Structure 1
């Protein structure tokens, strides 16, 4: 009887299915090259960004009506949209890429949950958040709007932290001061002395915070949300802010009109804050708008 052959029989390999993380083989290989297509992500992150923004538009946020009303602080409801955006940006990579920039576009320290000792709550929060933001270089380019409430509480400790934060924001274009204590003019003048914020184009602030406007040489749009705005106009003239194109919320007198003339020719629009609607009477070549007080 002849000896058995030691050659092993070859059998056809059975294909084994494997997970390929979203890549499916659609056609058999041709010329040694497999034709494959990437399947898009499914589920909640696959929704269109427009749909996300439409849903988020129903969440409460800080509006100009709040800022122009000049309250001491804003209610906790104004943080709903920001909280939702930051939560979404920490869910997954897809949502982070969509919403991290929007979540940090506005840096706001003006919201107090219950109003108890609001000046202390906002002051301590401002120092903590400003120092934390400065230590987060990946977030600094995202911030474009800063909204704050300024109080006399520990100004020597809190205002320097705010100034340092503002100077570190390369894309900051809007500064909004919801409220500032009437007796902190000197403290603001000291804190913002020799400070330059050339990226700022829009400013909303009360008259008692007029020393801040001197630090914004490139400002174009100025709105006063408290008092007649005479101190703001004086600071604009003294600070050489001659690129202003729009001023709103002022109640001009003859003296203020003469000061405003020094800001020409770039000044194009003036919104006058009065208790009764009046006709335009300021000597400027362009249109002047009059707005009744709310």
Structure 2
């Protein structure tokens, strides 16, 4: 049995039909999304592993009060799911893998979120050796991504509440 299957089985066994209404902030991997079903009043979610698709699926049906999400993958499918699942989102951190950047055009669905006031773009990557991690702002593909994202925000924000 894989580690992911073991984790999912443990979550199902130990958290099924449990309720934790006191939890407001939660950090969990995408595979443990079922835990959210018992956290109806959670306001802030951090995804510490995975892109967020499964967490968004659970959030859509069980967590109507989420206002802040961290480390969501920036692909179009995930961001469309986010817009449907978390309509009252105010702050979003998108984490991109510097070796597999999604199209910045995937950010467009975010403009339908009326309360969204902060979008943080984060980049991760891998490097070898003992030296410090690379400065991603000197990476041409990341710079192009940021320029395009800024153009999208400039073009699409003018009539939107985020522009105020």
TM-score range, shorter chain: 0.5 to 0.7
- Which 5+ residue runs of structure 2 have no aligned equivalent? 126-164
User: What is the aligned counterpart of 1:237 among 60, 69, 77?
Assistant: 60
User: What is the aligned counterpart of 2:12 among 189, 203, 207?
Assistant: 189
User: What is the aligned counterpart of 1:216 among 39, 59, 76?
Assistant: 39
Distance 1:253 1:190 in 2: 31
Q: What residue is the counterpart of 2:136 in the other structure? A: none
Distance 1:265 1:209, change over 3 A: closer
The reply to whether residue 288 of structure 1 matches residue 110 of structure 2 is no
The reply to whether residue 225 of structure 1 matches residue 56 of structure 2 is no
TM-score by length of 1: 0.35
TM-score by length of 2: 0.61
Task: Tell me: higher relative CO, structure 1 or 2? Use CA pairs within 8 A at least 6 residues apart.
Answer: 2
- Runs of 4+ aligned residues of structure 1 deviating over 6 Å after TM superposition are none
Q: What residue is the counterpart of 2:90 in the other structure? A: 268
Q: CA RMSD in A?
A: 2.4
Distance 1:279 1:259 in 2: 16
How far has the Cα of 1:258 moved from its partner? 2.6
Contact between 1:248 and 1:270, CA under 8 Å: does it hold in 2? yes
Contact between 1:244 and 1:263, CA under 8 Å: does it hold in 2? no
Aligned positions, number: 114
Distance 1:244 1:292 in 2: 23
- Which 5+ residue runs of structure 1 have no aligned equivalent? 1-151, 153-180
User: What is the aligned counterpart of 1:203 among 26, 30, 55?
Assistant: 26
